[in-house]
Structures are given as C-alpha cells and as structure tokens.
Amino acid sequence: MPDGLPTEIDLTRPSAARVYDYFLGGAHNFEIDRQLAEQIASMTPNLAATMRSGREFLRRAVRVLLDAGIDQFLDIGSGIPTVGNVHEVAQAANPKARVVYVDIDPVAVAHSRELLAGNDLTGVIHADLREPERILAETRQLGLIDFSRPMGILLAGVVHFVPDADHPDAILATLRAAAAPGSFLVISHSTFEDQPQEMLDAQRLSARTDTEIALRSRAQVTGFFGDWTVLEPGVVHMPLWRPDSPSDVDEHPERFGAFGGVARYDQPAG
Amino acid sequence: MAAVGDPIGADVGRGGAEGYAADWARAVRRLGFVPLSAAETERLLLAHTVRLAQAVRTEPFTARPAEEVGRALVEAHLTEPRALEWSLRALGTDFPRRVLAADGWPADLTERIAAVQGGLAAGYARALRDRTFAQQERIARSAWQARDEVEQALRDSEARFRAVFTGAAIGIGIAGVDGQIIDVNQAFADMLGYSIEELCRINVAALFHADDAAGMWELYQQLIEGKQDAARVEKRYHRKDGSVVWTDLAVSLIRHDDGRPRFTVAMIEDITERYELQQRLRFQALHDPLTGLPNRTLFFETLGRVLDAAAAADRRVGVCFLDLDGFKAINDSLGHDLGDRLLVMIGRRLAECVADHGHLVARMGGDEFVILVDGGEDAVAVAKTALAAVAAPVHVGDQQLAVSASVGIVECPVAETSASELMKAADTTLYWAKAAGRGRWAVYDPERSARDMARAALVAGLPAALERGEFVLHYQPIVSLLEGRMLAVEALVRWKHPELGLIGPDRFIGLAEETGLIVGLGEWVLRTACRDAERWWREFPDARLVVSVNLAARQADDPAIVDTVADALATSGLPEELLQLELTESAVMGSAGEPLRSLHRLADLGVRLAVDDFGTGYSNLAYLRRLPIHCLKLAGPFVEGIRADGTDVAADHRDERIVDALVRLAHALELWVTAEAVETGVQAERLRALRCDTGQGRYFGAPSPAETITARLRGGAA
C-alpha cells in the first residue's frame, strides 16, 4: 500500500467522490453518501449548483486548452468520472487526446478503471495530491503523457482538500516544475470570500467525509499559479470564467463559493 | 448524442420549434446539471422537439418515438426530476401551439399529446431505471474491487511479513498477555529444541530458568500490564534436551487500538558462543594464567562481597598472606622455568589443602599467595595447614627442593574492617613473620602495629627535627672511683618532640641508624659536645673534663669521620685529649669483619677511644691488644650483678669475679675501665675494691643539661 493511502475500504463512511457524483445526478453512490449529500444540500441549496458550476468551469477550461492545442491532460482529484469528463470532452474534440486521472479514493479509482477499460488513451492512478513526486513518477511510468511537451494539469476542486500544514504551495511548485513550457494549469478552489455564513457552516459538515475543506482567498489561489501567466479574466468566481454566453451568468456568480482560473507556462524570455 | 441532423419537416414551423427548443434547453440547464454547452444542449433538444412533432403527426400514430426521446434525455444526462416535469408540462401546454402549425393538428390531438407524454415518461423512467441499476452495479462492483485490491495488498503484505517471520534467523515468538504462546517461528523453535507445535502449547512461564536475572519476571509482569513497552535482557533457556542456550531476549508489547495490552513479541538471538567467550574472557581476567588460581582482582572482588554481605551479621573474616621464603634465590639459581613450576605446585597444594573448607586461594603476584578464610574458621589452623603443605619436599624436574613460607594472619570481625585495611594488616603481619625467621606465621597485633606506626612516624619526623634544632644534649658524669672527682661526661642526645615531649635515645637512635640519619645526627652531637666541652675547659681548665661522645657503627664506618672529628675539634678549639669517642664492639670491628680502618687515624688525632658495652658483643681479645683503645666501658649487666642485695649470693660472686677478671685484663692491656649503670654506693664500693677506675650511673648523677655540669664544676672548684 502506498503511504498515506487508506489500507481499508470503509463503505460505512461517505466518500467525497460519491457525494459529488450524487450532486451531479449520478447513481454511483450509496445510501450513506446520499444522506450526507442531502444534509449538505438542505443547509446550502446552492451546493448542488456549485458542483455543477465547477463541472461546467472544468468543461470550459478544457475546451480552452484544447483550442490552444493541448492534447494531454493530468486530472488530479478526478473523482468518479461520470458525465462530462475530461476524456469525453477532450476526445470529442481530439480523438487522440490522452488523459491520466488521479484520485485518492480507491473506490473512485476502481470505478474509473472499469469505466475506462478499453480506452487506451486514458489511465488511472491511485495516489494522494500530497505526494506530487509520486504522482509524477507513476504518470511517467504509464507512458501516456510526454512531459517534454505541453500538457494540461487539472486541479478541479481538489487543492482545498490540502490543509496549509501539508504545504499546498510546495505541492503546486513541484507539479509546475514538471511541466514543459506551453503547459496549462487549471484550478478551481473553494473560498470564503463574498460568502454568507451558512456556506461557511456547511463546509464544516464536509469534515464527515475523509477530507476537510480549506477555504482560501483569491490571493492565495492566485499564488498557486506561481509565475505562470494567468489567462483572462484572471482568478474569478467560476461562472465568470469565460461563460458560453452572457446569459449563463446570473446576478450572483459568487454564490457558488469557488474561484476558477487558468494559467500558462510561458517560456521565459531570453 | 442525439440525431441532430434530422431534417426538419416542412409541416413543422421551424421558427416555432427553435424557440421551443431554446426555452427547453434554458430550463434543463437551469434546473439540473447538463454536461454540454448551451448551444449543444439547444441543438440536441431541437432534434428531439422535431422528432416529437413528427410523431404527433405521423399516421398511424405511435408513441414509440416519444419513448425513444425519453430514453435519449436520460442518456444525455438530462435526469434532473424537475427538468422532466418541465418537459412533460410544456408538451401539454406550449408544444402544440408553438411547434405544430394550427392547420396540421390531428383530430385526436389531445389523446396523442397525452400518449406522447406517457411514452416519453415511460422511456425516460425505463432508461433511468436501467442507468441507475447499471451505475449502482458498477459502483458496488468498484467498491468490492477496491476492497479486493486492498485486501490483496494486505495479503501480499502479510505474506511478506510472514516470509520474514518464517525465514528470520532470529527467533520470533508471539504470546498473549496470559503468557500463552500463540506462534513462534522455526528459528525460535530450533533454538529451544522444540517443534513449533510443542511451543504453541506452552506458557512463557514454563520457560523460567533458575538463573534468570533478578527482576526479569517483574519486568515481564509490568510489560503485560502495559506499564512498559519493551524490555531487553540476557536470558538462559533450558532446551528440550536439557542443555542450556544463552539468548539476547528483546520483548515488546503490542497494544490494542485503545491501548490495552494485546500481545507480547519476543525476539531471541542465540548468544551462547558469545556468552561463553565472555565467560572465558572473564575467567582470564580474574585468574592467574600460571597457576590457574584466582588472581588479585577476583580476590578483592570476593573479599569485597564477603565484607558487604556479612556486614550486618556478627561474622568474622580471616586472611592468610603467604610468601615463599627465599624464592628469589631459587628463581635466580634454578631459573625462572623451574621457579614457575614450583609456583604452580605450591599453588596446587594450597588450593587442595583448603579446598574442602571452601576457602579462596588466590595468587597475588610473584610468590605471594593469599587465603581468604570465610565463616569464622580458625585462620591460624588454616595457616598451619598451608605451611605444612608448602613444607613437604617438592620435586621439580630432577631437583628436590625444601621450600618454606611465612604467613601473616589477620582475623577480625567483618564489621570492623575494610578490604584495604585487612590487606595492609596482612602485609604488615607477613613482614613480622618474615622478620622472625623462615617458616613462621604471625598473627596481627594491633598494638604492635600501632607501635610500628608510631616508630615510622618518628622516622619520618627525624630529618625535619634535626633541621629545626629539636635535639638537645644531656651529660652524665663519669667519676673517679678512687678520689670521687668527675673526670668526664658522656654526651647523650634527647629529642624535644613538639607533641611527645622529651624522647630518650632508645626510641629513635635505632631508627636513625636504620635510616642512615645517624650520620647527620651524630655529627651534630659531636660538634655540640665539643663546643660545650671547650667552654668547660676554658672556664675550668684545671678540671680537664673529658667529653665522651658515642659513635654509631654507620658513623664510624663513614670514611669522612676522621675529617669530621678533626673539624669539630678545630672549630670548637677543644684540646683533642679532652674528647673521647665511644664505639661498640661491633662498630670497632666494622662491617667487613676486621677492625675499622679509620680507628688508627682517629687515634692519631689524639682523641681517646673507648669500647662501649664491653663484654656484650664479639670481644676479640687479640685485636684488642693491638688496637689504639684507651678505655673499656663495662656493660650494665655485669655491674647490676654486683648489687649485693642478697637475693643470689652465688650469682653475685660469679659476676664479681667476671668484673674482677675484666678489670685485670684491661689493666694488663693498659686500658682504663669504666663501670656503667652504677646505682648504689655498695656497688661503687665494690667496684673500687675491684680496682675499677671510673664509674657512671645514677649513683654519680643522672644525665642532665650542660648547665648542671657547669654548676657542678663550679661547685667542685669552689
């Protein structure tokens, strides 16, 4: 067993990945997950919408990366890839696009492997974001991603599961350092900025899954991109990030309580 | 994805369908998650709108396409219940009006719309049920698979640990807190000579060994009570076959998650060889390699143990310190090889003769052995046995040797001594025994030791005393028996000791002679006496008082003595004929067995020479005749014998005849005779009758300070 990963599968505890699947309308979940999901939803009616918003942000971001010519993706914290997954979005645009999914939840990993069986351009790694070297090493071992070429590193709704004590800045730095110039980094991350109290209360509930959420400021989230060039419109509430149409943005884009942003690694001048 | 490319029928109002689809798309995107962009959603729903419109109009009517649309909605993940509600309601309210041209309405439109609603709902429900079943199935399978993987990993991990456990060279055993052995590996079983199965039926308490370190089982008790987490000891185990294995044992406690003790894990390593090597090294460190006897270190360890253990009890301890007589001579004459063999034999004899009594015999080094007499047995008896054992003839090579030894014995209550005190006393006592002659034993006498020590202290103080001027001279008159006039005085040295008061020469002259300090002290006496005598001569020239100074053998033997005497005379200005030097018979004869070389040169200076204590030593009359002697001083015992107090008249007469003979002899040799120790008037009278020339003793005056002599001279002159 890799260090830091669970050595037992406890189906009596809810899993973040399965709760997320439920919020997206999936049935890849158990009673215990649905109970928690309903409990969270009853306190914050926005939450299901937040998760859908996060999924839409990811879809839009992947599209932007595809348009920029990116054809290999490392999706860390992918959860249960039900619908609207990166490989679906990417391979719809470019059938040769390669995707490596990484998740800490062994059930999510097993499910992903089953779902992706027969798709030779995808791979699944069971690992913890807190061990970025291990993720990079195993990704290299899979041989799907060419690290000498630009890639897209996707961290959708996952960095907020890493507490400050585990040095998320260092983790991000490690991941960025592995990427070739021209690569992109996509992050969505929960925040306390512009949020009502019930949102902040609800995040405490999430402690009942194996992971607790660390809400961070826009500045902190921006910091995760390091010296990479943050694309327009910057680190913003998710619906504001390059919406499909202006009508997709309502009057309260902040209600989803999460920032989204994309940055590119530009070759240093000279 | 849906059939987006469906041609839009001419009978369908295109603008109406597009508007309807746009509203529909907006609604589903608002109500639930749609994994498509707005345009994609709209395109998809436009196709479904057209399809539904065609279905309503197609003859004969069937709701089947509506079922397919329902299924397609689920497949496109438009599964939000409120989105379905919106879709069905819109079909009933807006759809005919907005999508179907009014002139194209079939007669049974209401029934057809209801059927389309029903069909869509049925298709949707069936698809949703299928999808839910599939997803539930898949997630459950994934969960089980993940669990299998974890379990497989655990099994792999367990197999690895099992392999370590099984194959380890170190013995590993697991026991419950009740001590029941649960599992052991082969190495553990092999070390103890049991099978694994046999050991698993045993309780660890059965592995007790009588020699287990003190406190070891208490430690184990603390371990299983959770007060300790690990313990490490060297432990001996009985193997099944009865032999013994020494192990390095490390026991650790394994706890339940809540901290309660659960198992103990023991790891043992066979250290028998290492232990035996240690024992061998320890034996070597504690035994004499030549004789195999315990050495000095072990002796002192044992003695310390005896003293510690018995300190409380009213027990006694004895030590016999034995040293061969003249071993150096044996070694020198017969060689070290034979000397060593002799020591081995003596060592063996000593060990054998006391072994039955359990006494420890150790070789302290060289030819010194020591017997520790434990338990209040008679140490003298042990010493006698040891001396007898040594004394039996020894055959070494083709030599038969008669060996003897001396023994110093110390025996005292344990509570009153320490190892160092005991051995110091034994050493002293051995010295006494040696001094008394060969083949003897001596018992420690604290009073004698105290005297020895006092003497030693005096010796140590002598040089400083001489420097500080702590010595004084007293003078004893030597009086003419014929006319009663004081002819001479004998200079006698006294020590004004700052703590002990005035000390007579008997207590320190012997020491001064042993240490050689007599030379310096004697010179001081000589010069002081000459100075005093010169003063008397100047003040009372007619008295012609002679001063008589004792010359110790070592002093007389010193080649510088002639110069010293000459210088003392010259410095003081004393006429040489007023100085008399007293030498004992042995001093006159010198250490070389012939008369002192300097005797004639001293006589040549013009000083008088007297033989002190005449008649007690080696009196070679032939020499006496030729030597430049002027005077004989008769030793005290002859004079004492003529006290005539009537106890033994016959003896009196014998002594008187001896004195008579000596006086005649002296006179025949033209020597003066002085009688010492004259105590009474009767003695003086008799001596005078025997024609003895001068007398000295209490009767004529005790030794006294120079002033007293001066006063007496003044009185005599007056």
Domain ranges of chain B: 14-134, 168-274, 287-444, 465-717
B139 touching chain A per CB within 8 A: yes
Confidence of residue B592 (pLDDT cuts 50, 70, 90): low
Q: What CATH number should be reported for the domain holding residue A152?
A: 3.40.50.150
Mean per-residue pLDDT, B107-122 = 90
Per residue in B380-389, pLDDT (tens digit) is 889 999 999 8
Residue A140: CB atoms within 10 A of its CB come to 13
A14, part of any domain: no
The three state secondary structure string of B125-141 is HHHHHHHHHHHHHHHHH
Q: Which residues of B287-316 are buried (b: 16+ CB within 10 A; e: fewer)?
A: bbeebebbbbebbbebbeebbeebeeeebb
Output the pLDDT for position B619.
64
The three state secondary structure string of B234-293 is EEEEECCCCCEEEEEEEEEEEECCCCCEEEEEEEEEECHHHHHHHHHHHHHHHECCCCCC
Per residue in B632-647, pLDDT (tens digit) is 998 888 888 776 555 6
The chain A residue lying nearest B156, using CA atoms, is A1
Distances (CA, A) of B182 to B240, B266, B528: 19, 11, 100
Dist. CA B288–CA B301, nearest whole Å: 15
Structure-block tokens of residue B271: 């250290």
A189, part of any domain: yes
A162 Cα to chain B: minimum distance (Å): 23
Residue B602, exposed/middle/buried by CB under 10 A (0-12, 13-18, 19+)? buried
Dist. CA B403–CA B387, nearest whole Å: 10
- Provide CB contacts within 8 A for B41, sequence distance 6+: B25, B28, B29, B34
Are residues B142 and A7, on separate chains, in Cβ contact within 8 Å?
A: no
Distances (CA, A) of A22 to A113, B404, B591: 19, 109, 125
Instruction: Give me the residue from A7, A55, A109 closest to B33, CB to CB.
Output: A55
The answer to whether B359 touches B306, Cβ cutoff 8 Å, is no
Q: Residue B98 carries which DSSP code?
A: H
Mean per-residue pLDDT, B130-153 = 86
Query: Taking Cα atoms as reference points, which of B294, B301, B400 lies closest to residue B347?
Result: B294
Structure-block tokens of residue B251: 């026991």
B407: helix, coil or strand?
strand
Output the pLDDT for position B2.
40
Query: Taking Cα atoms as reference points, which of B654, B643, B649, B607 lies closest to residue B628?
Result: B607
Output the pLDDT for position A105.
85
Residue showing tokens 């890639």: A151
B33 touching chain A per CB within 8 A: yes
Per residue in B593-630, pLDDT (tens digit) is 566 778 888 999 999 999 988 877 666 676 777 788 89
Dist. CA B63–CA B356, nearest whole Å: 121
A16, part of any domain: no
DSSP assignment string, A190-205: E--TT--HHHHHHHHH
DSSP assignment string, B301-333: HHHHHHHHHTTTTT-EEEEEEEEETTHHHHHHH
Dist. CA A76–CA A159, nearest whole Å: 9
Q: Residue B401 carries which DSSP code?
A: E
Dist. CA A176–CA B294, nearest whole Å: 76
Percent of chain B having pLDDT more than 90?
A: 34
Dist. CA A124–CA A108, nearest whole Å: 10
Residue B228 has pLDDT above 90, yes or no: no
Which candidate in B29, B33, B132, B161 is best for mutational testing of the A interface (most A CBs within 10 A)?
A: B33
Are residues A25 and B77, on separate chains, in Cβ contact within 8 Å?
A: yes
Fold (CATH) for B465-717: TIM Barrel (3.20.20)
A77 Cα to chain B: minimum distance (Å): 17
Fold (CATH) for B168-274: Beta-Lactamase (3.30.450)
Dist. CA B663–CA B657, nearest whole Å: 10
Domain, as residue range, for A59: 48-264
- Provide CB contacts within 8 A for A170, sequence distance 6+: none
Dist. CA B137–CA B114, nearest whole Å: 34
DSSP assignment string, B436-492: H-TT-EEE--HHHHHHHHHHHHHHHHHHHHHHHT-EEEEEEEEEETTT--EEEEEEE
Confidence of residue B6 (pLDDT cuts 50, 70, 90): very low
Tell me how many domains chain A contains: 1
Give kind and range of the element (H or E) at residue B336.
helix B336-355
Structure-block tokens of residue B381: 């008896």
Output the pLDDT for position B546.
96
Mean per-residue pLDDT, B47-56 = 91
B132 touching chain A per CB within 8 A: yes
Are residues B32 and A109, on separate chains, in Cβ contact within 8 Å?
A: no
Size of interface A-B (CB pairs under 8 A): 88
Residue B570 has pLDDT above 70, yes or no: yes
Dist. CA B53–CA B83, nearest whole Å: 19
Residue B376: CB atoms within 10 A of its CB come to 15
Q: Which of A59-63, A246-250, B194-198 has the lowest mean pLDDT?
A: A246-250
B30 touching chain A per CB within 8 A: no
Residue A5 has pLDDT above 70, yes or no: no
- Asked if residue A132 has a cis previous peptide bond (ω within 30° of 0), the answer is no
Angle at B351 between CA B348 and CA B353, to 5 degrees: 105
Among A184-188, A263-267, B200-204, B281-285, the range of highest mean pLDDT: A184-188
Angle at B201 between CA B195 and CA B204, to 5 degrees: 95
Q: Look up the pTM and report it.
A: 0.50
Are residues A28 and B135, on separate chains, in Cβ contact within 8 Å?
A: yes
Q: Residue B80 carries which DSSP code?
A: -
Per residue in B400-425, pLDDT (tens digit) is 888 899 999 998 887 778 888 889 99
Of residues B615 and B492, more confidently modeled: B492
Q: Which of A140-149, A215-224, B52-61 has the lowest mean pLDDT?
A: B52-61
Q: What is the dihedral of CA A93, A96, A97, A103, to 10 degrees?
A: 120
Output the pLDDT for position B608.
93
Dist. CA A99–CA A118, nearest whole Å: 13
Residue showing tokens 């004789």: B291
Give B658's Cβ-side CA count (13 Å radius).
18
The answer to whether B478 touches B674, Cβ cutoff 8 Å, is yes
Of residues B101 and B456, more confidently modeled: B456
- Provide CB contacts within 8 A for B45, sequence distance 6+: B21, B24, B25, B28
Dist. CA B10–CA B17, nearest whole Å: 12
Are residues B79 and A55, on separate chains, in Cβ contact within 8 Å?
A: no
Contacts of B80 in chain A (CB under 8 A): 25
Instruction: Give me the residue from B77, B139, B154 closest to A111, CB to CB.
Output: B139
Fold (CATH) for B287-444: Alpha-Beta Plaits (3.30.70)
Per residue in B535-567, pLDDT (tens digit) is 999 999 999 999 999 998 888 888 889 999 999
Per residue in B325-339, pLDDT (tens digit) is 988 888 888 888 888
B47 Cα to chain A: minimum distance (Å): 20
* Antiparallel, parallel or unpaired: β B360-365 and B368-374: antiparallel
Distances (CA, A) of B183 to B154, B175, B197, B236, B257: 20, 7, 9, 20, 21
Residue B528 has pLDDT above 90, yes or no: yes
Per residue in B647-666, pLDDT (tens digit) is 666 666 788 888 898 899 88
A224 Cα to chain B: minimum distance (Å): 27
Structure-block tokens of residue A105: 């939840």
End-to-end CA distance of chain B: 166
Which candidate in B30, B139, B148, B158 is best for mutational testing of the A interface (most A CBs within 10 A)?
A: B139
Output the pLDDT for position B9.
45
Percent of chain B having pLDDT more than 70?
A: 93
Mean per-residue pLDDT, B386-394 = 88
Per residue in A163-216, pLDDT (tens digit) is 998 999 999 999 999 999 999 999 999 888 887 776 667 666 655 555 567 889
A2 touching chain B per CB within 8 A: no
Question: Helices B38-57 and B64-75 meet at what angle, rounded to 10?
Answer: 170
Give kind and range of the element (H or E) at residue B376.
none
Residue A4 has pLDDT above 50, yes or no: no
A18, part of any domain: no
- Provide CB contacts within 8 A for B96, sequence distance 6+: B56, B105, B109, B113
A3 touching chain B per CB within 8 A: no
Distances (CA, A) of B355 to B293, B305, B350, B409: 12, 19, 8, 18
Are residues A114 and B142, on separate chains, in Cβ contact within 8 Å?
A: yes
The answer to whether B262 touches B256, Cβ cutoff 8 Å, is yes
B137 Cα to chain A: minimum distance (Å): 8
- Per the rule left: phi > 0, alpha: psi between -120 and 50, beta: everything else, B546 is beta
Structure-block tokens of residue B606: 């013009």
The answer to whether B70 touches B124, Cβ cutoff 8 Å, is yes
